[in-house]
Homo-oligomer: A and B are copies of this chain.
Amino acid sequence: MVTEAQNIILQNIARHITLTEAEASHFLSLLTVQNVSKKQFWLKEGEICRHSAFVFEGCLRGYTVDANGFEHILQFAPPNWWISDMYSLLTGNPGQLMIDALEPTRIMLLAKSDQEQLYKDIPKFERFFRIITENSLVANRQRVIDAMSLTARERYEQFCQRYPTLINSIPQKQIAAYIGVTPEFLSKLRSIRNKAKG
């Protein structure tokens, strides 16, 4: 008996590697489901991150808080995305990332220790995580480039194109904290854009 949630994660993995039934069921046995209610934290600054999380319902956000108390969003994690504080996960040191839920969210957890054992038991997973890490790195590098070479307006346009579904489902202040402007300035950008459109 495979649940809907388990189906979603198996589909996600099938995009890059092919598992036997035995391998799939072994993998599923390592996962635990967790509910994160709206605004609830899954991880806080200073904590040690010991799991990778796969979102299958809702939406998480990963962000840092700077010296002046401003939030800067590193990642949104809607369904089908993996999220963690990778620095903390890899090093075992306390991280600086805060991860909380923008709406009622359901995730599946894979403990770091289980993940490492999984690499030994089913080396294909080494491949799977290599590939999604590569894709993530490409996206992150593009974000560094965009931050340096685009204006705030252009970054907003980019965001609209790249994440059309998020635009209507999350508050604007969250988008502002992702593209790196104040909510006030984003509001100004939008009003100018709307005037231009008639």
Chain A residues within 8 Å of B, Cβ to Cβ = 64, 66-67, 70, 72, 74, 86-87, 90, 96, 119, 123, 126-127, 129-130, 133-138, 140-145, 147-150, 180
Contacts and interface: CB of A to CB of B under 8 A. Distances in A.
A144 B142 contact: no
A149 B64 contact: yes
Copies of this protein, total: 2
Contacts of A86: 134, 137-138, 141
Pick the 8 closest A-B CB pairs, nearest first. Answer: A66-B149, A130-B130, A72-B148, A140-B140, A126-B126, A137-B137, A148-B180, A147-B147
Nearest to A178: B148
Grouping DSSP codes into helix (H, G, I), strand (E, B) and loop, the A interface class, with mixed when no group exceeds half, is helix
Nearest to A181: B148
Contacts of A142: 87
Contact of A140 (B130, B141, B150): B141
Contact of A147 (B70, B87, B130, B144): B144
Contacts of A145: 64, 72, 74, 96
Contact of A138 (B90, B144, B149): B90
Given A66-B149, A74-B144, A143-B144, A87 B138 contact: yes
Contacts of A119: 127
A165 to B, nearest CB: 22
A93 to B, nearest CB: 11
Nearest to A177: B148
B140 A144 contact: yes
Contacts of A133: 130, 133-134, 137
